[in-house]
Amino acid sequence: MRLTRKISARLSAHRRSRFAGPAVLLVALLTTGGLYVALSPASAEKTADSTSEIAKGKALFLVGCASCHGKNGEGILTERGNQYGPSLAGVGAAAVDFQVGTGRMPMAQPGSQALRKRVVYTQDEIDALGAFVASLAPGPSVPAADEYEAKTDDPEAVSRGGEFFRTNCTACHNFAGSGGALPQGKFAPSLVGVSEKHLFEAMLTGPQQMPVFSNEVLSPQDKQDIISYLKKNEDTPSYGGFTLGSIGPVAEGMFAWLTLAVVVGAGIWITSQTARSKKTKKGDVA
């Protein structure tokens, strides 16, 4: 008790001092200033960096993309009211990285489906284009490597991924991920050989006919499991023979039954053609 009283007495003595106010102010200012200096340079540099990145992206965009997507990515309508190129507000850097990174964009000419082509931009340029599009409106950003890298030697991830794949993807991409036809001349491409990053981005951004599997629908972990499953499948050697396009167990089973039916039918037909069966015909002399 006595001690606290002593300390407070001393404190109040100092408080009364002429320099107490300015000293406290100085300490407070130094602390805030120090904290600001310690915390801000990284983000300040980043803004400077990303401003020039966006400017670079915009320059590339005006040359290669604006003719279809508009100068500010707002989209262009044709006279008949069709989309020449859709608005890119909110599609995010991930969509750009996927579309340009797989060579789909810049589209050669508006058609029914943008196809994979030779990639015409360097990864640096793609990143700049992505930064520009992301600056139009917030959208999904390019995933980090540890989010999409396949874990092919984790059997649990692979089997979970297989389940997610069968529920969400086989309807269009088929059981083996080898792709399939869709109405109106469109198709879901084969997933064999697609890079892990592009697999993740396709799910995240849902190109064309494909639904968007946002991180709320399929968590980043679920997506990574699907990638692990697909990559594990690619590693698994094919044991030869007629794969039937791996269309699935029911269809393959039907094929086996049909083959069996043909074999049995042929057997019956052959036996009905023998001399013995002819002998029993009516009117024949024994």
Exactly one of 55, 59, 64, 149 binds ligand HEC (CB under 6 A); that residue is 64
Q: How many CB atoms lie within 10 A of CB 187?
A: 16
**Does residue 142 interact with ligand HEC by CB under 6 A?**
no
d(CA 111, CA 82): 12
Q: How far apart are the first and last CA of the chain?
A: 134
By CB under 6 A, which span of 11-19, 164-172, 245-253, 278-286 interacts with ligand HEC? 164-172
The structure tokens 């540890």 sit at 146
**Does residue 114 interact with ligand HEC by CB under 6 A?**
yes
* Contact (CB, 8 A) for 94 and 143: yes
Exactly one of 31, 67, 214, 271 binds ligand HEC (CB under 6 A); that residue is 67
**Which residues 6+ apart lie within 8 Å of 172 measured at CB?**
180, 182, 188, 209, 210
**Does residue 150 interact with ligand HEC by CB under 6 A?**
no
Of 67 and 271, nearer to ligand HEC (C-beta) is 67
Of 63 and 263, nearer to ligand HEC (C-beta) is 63
Q: What is the x/- site pattern for ligand HEC, positions 172-211, by CB under 6 A?
A: xx--------x---x-xx-x--x---xx--xx-x-xxxxx
Largest CA distance in the chain: 143
CA distances from 108 to 5, 126, 148, 268 (A): 84, 17, 30, 59
d(CA 205, CA 117): 19
d(CA 89, CA 75): 9
Q: Tell me the one-letter amino acid at 71.
A: K
- Which residues inside 237-266 make contact with ligand HEC, applying CB under 6 A? none
- Which residues inside 81-110 make contact with ligand HEC, applying CB under 6 A? 85-86, 88, 91, 95-96, 99-100, 102, 104-107, 109-110
Q: Tell me the one-letter amino acid at 63.
A: V
Closest approach of ligand HEC to the CB of residue 173, in Å:
5
Exactly one of 54, 58, 65, 233 binds ligand HEC (CB under 6 A); that residue is 65
Of 20 and 50, nearer to ligand HEC (C-beta) is 50
How many amino acids of this chain bind ligand HEC (CB under 6 A)?
47
d(CA 122, CA 119): 8
Interacting residue ranges for ligand HEC, rule: CB under 6 A: 64-65, 67-69, 85-86, 88, 91, 95-96, 99-100, 102, 104-107, 109-110, 113-114, 116, 129, 168-169, 171-173, 182, 186, 188-189, 191, 194, 198-199, 202-203, 205, 207-211, 213, 226
